[in-house]
Amino acid sequence: MHIHILGICGTFMGGLAALAREAGHRVTGCDANVYPPMSDQLRALGIDLIEGFSPDQLALKPDMFVIGNVVSRGNALMEAILDAGLPYTSGPQWLSQEVLQGRHVLAVAGTHGKTTTTSMLAWILEHAGLQPGFLVGGVPMNFGVSARLGEGRSFVIEADEYDTAFFDKRSKFVHYRPRTAVLNNLEFDHADIFPDLGAIETQFHHLVRTVPASGRLVVNAREEALQRVLARGCWSEVQRFGTRKEEAGTLRARGEPHAFDVLRGGLKIARVEWALLGEHNQLNALAALAAAEHVGVAPELAAEALGRFENVRRRLELRGEAGGVKVYDDFAHHPTALRTTVNGLRRRVGLDRILAVFEPRSNTMKLGTMKAQLPWALEEADLSFCHAGGLGWNAAEALAPMGEQAVVCEDIDTLVRAVVKAARPGDHILCMSNGSFGGIHDKLLQALGKKA
């Protein structure tokens, strides 16, 4: 089959393209932004890429057009497909029919931690010899790729609640039909498509409806929103995790995030000692352990795998050091994720200064929906620097409660100069964005090197 993917350079669609190519399909694609590293990764797989959405691409005559959710009505190529009556489908629907059918799907859903937990789970299954397939919205460093078909029956997938396509406004994850579903946490996000938290809870309820009675729901016991989701209907076994006190059958952690015992009720069933920090990663580990257990991986073996887990690129990833200053990259963009990331670095560096550099780039943050939470998100940083270019709201006003601890800049170059001026040897600069951030990491390292 020849498939032509519209919006191929997104993380999900790029992973789908890799899976389709591995399965033996001919794959071509187009996007408005065909640039490295995704363009290089796809071309290395033998996938031809086209810049833009010209209707001329109909001449490729694929068997199916696979439409990414970045494509909307008015897109020239999409309009031509519709006018010609040609076959098209969404990425999640194609994946469900062509890859996931007949597999034991383990889906990881939640506002935060999806990529990390999916990577942990895939690595646990790999370490256990199950040779899983996976599709992750990032690059797990244990594998070096974001997607593969795998030779085993299990398939681990990051299950996003964002909508499927312009013609299918259901969440992506309702297409995956998981037998094991992790519900890691649930907060309001994606203000561009969801009016409130209740609307997202409804989509999670739809996901729960797809899990069979013989399946398992792995649910964060701390999250009130998830308890409301289950109260609307639950037909599967539930394994809760994350309680702070002993509860029969529930998984919890005892100890520090980098070294802790895993308890079921009052019984110790495993011990995790690893390089990751932060209570959020401790909870992610409990979720991955519980999901892996559902496909027969003993907690002791799963804990052993986590001891060798190398995390995901762009998760507190050290990009370099210059002038005695370390520069990190992280994908955080939601206020809770910003706070969690800063806290994780704080646990690592102790009393050293942290300079948080961030851009409100996600659709939700661009709308200003959560701007009031930013001072709370950044309170553990010593200084914070915000890239405010292109925002429709006043970042300086939102960060005013932070006083002189916050600096707002309208462009990347001005931001780099401000950060470098404030930095001194021994500092840690933490850059947070769900985009490329204008190459700020390399610019900072170059400027810090010259300053030294």
Alpha carbons within 13 angstroms on the beta-carbon side of residue 446 total 8
Strands 180-183 and 163-165: unpaired
pLDDT in tens, 219-231: 999 999 999 999 9
Query: How far is residue 368 from each of residues 194, 252, 430, measured CA to CA in Å?
Result: 14, 36, 22
Return the SS3 of 266: coil
Please report the pLDDT score of residue 29 as a whole number.
Answer: 96
Please report the pLDDT score of residue 238 as a whole number.
Answer: 97
CATH topology of domain 317-451: Protein-Tyrosine Phosphatase; Chain A (3.90.190)
pTM: 0.83
Q: If you classify domain 2-89 with CATH, what class do you get?
A: alpha beta
Give CATH superfamily name and number for 102-306.
Answer: Mur-like, catalytic domain (3.40.1190.10)
Alpha carbons within 13 angstroms on the beta-carbon side of residue 427 total 25
pLDDT at 362 over 80: no
In degrees, rounded to 5, the angle at the alpha carbon of residue 277 between the alpha carbons of residues 273 and 283 is 80
pLDDT in tens, 42-77: 888 889 899 999 999 999 999 999 999 999 999 999
List the chain domain ranges.
Answer: 2-89, 102-306, 317-451
To 10 degrees, what angle do helices 224-231 and 197-210 make? 50
User: Are residues 240 and 219 in contact, defined by beta-carbon separation less than 8 angstroms?
Assistant: yes
Alpha carbons within 13 angstroms on the beta-carbon side of residue 259 total 0
Q: Which of 79-83, 274-278, 337-341, 368-372 has the highest mean pLDDT?
A: 79-83
Handedness of CA 433, 436, 442, 448 (dihedral sign): negative
